[in-house]
Amino acid sequence: MNYRHAFHAGNFADVFKHALLARLLLYLCRKETPFRIIDTHAGEGAYDLCGDEAARTGEWRSGIGRLADLADAPHETKALLAPYLDCVGPFVDGRPALYPGSPLIAQRFMRANDRAIFCELRKDAFDALSKRFSRDKRVKTIHLDGYTGVGAFAPPAERRGLVLIDPPFERTDEFRALLDAFFNAHRKWPSGVYALWYPVKEPSLGRPFVAELKRTETKRVLRLELCVGGSCERLNRTGLIVVNPPYVFEEEARSIVSFLTSRLAQGQGAEFLVETLAGE
What residues are annotated to the active site? 166
Hey, CA dihedral for 249, 251, 252, 257, is it positive or negative?
positive
Three-state secondary structure call for residue 233: coil
- Cis ω for the linkage preceding 168 (within 30 of 0): no
Q: Which residues of 25-42 are buried (b: 16+ CB within 10 A; e: fewer)?
A: bbbbeeeeebbbbbbbbb
Pick the closest to residue 37 from 138, 133, 136 (CA basis).
Answer: 138
For residue 84, the 8-state DSSP code is H
Burial of 100 (0-12, 13-18, 19+ CB in 10 A): buried
- Report the distance separating Cα 121 and Cα 118, nearest Å: 10
Distance of CA 128 to the CA centre of its chain: 19
Edge-to-edge, what's the strand order for the sheet holding 139-143? 139-143, 115-120, 36-39, 161-165, 193-199, 237-243, 221-227, 271-278
